[in-house]
Amino acid sequence: MGNSLQKAFLGVISIGVSCIAIELIPVSRQAAYWNRCLDNSLMWANESSDLINWSKKAKESLAVGLCNGAVYESKLKTD
């Protein structure tokens, strides 16, 4: 009796872990896409001649806003 109950619990645990792993796939893909967007935006900001005088934090802020799709302020904080 105890052995079969233990096997049932292990089966339920393995199914639960498998479901959690499957649910994490879209999140990891979105994180990889966002990180790629951030890297490309920072590379563009560092190469842009208009943004040479901006601080590193200002460039990162712009890149994060671009990747989040939330560049909505009319005045950018460059300091």
22-79 per-position pLDDT tens digit: 999 999 999 999 999 999 999 998 888 888 889 999 999 889 988 988 766 556 666 6
Pair 67, 38: CB distance under 8 Å: yes
Tokens 């802020």 belong to residue: 61
Q: Which whole-number Å values give the CA distances from 21 to 13, 16, 52, in the listed order?
A: 12, 9, 43
Of the chain, the end-to-end C-alpha distance in Å amounts to 70
* Domain ranges, ordered by start, for the chain: 2-68
The amino acid sitting at 56 is: K
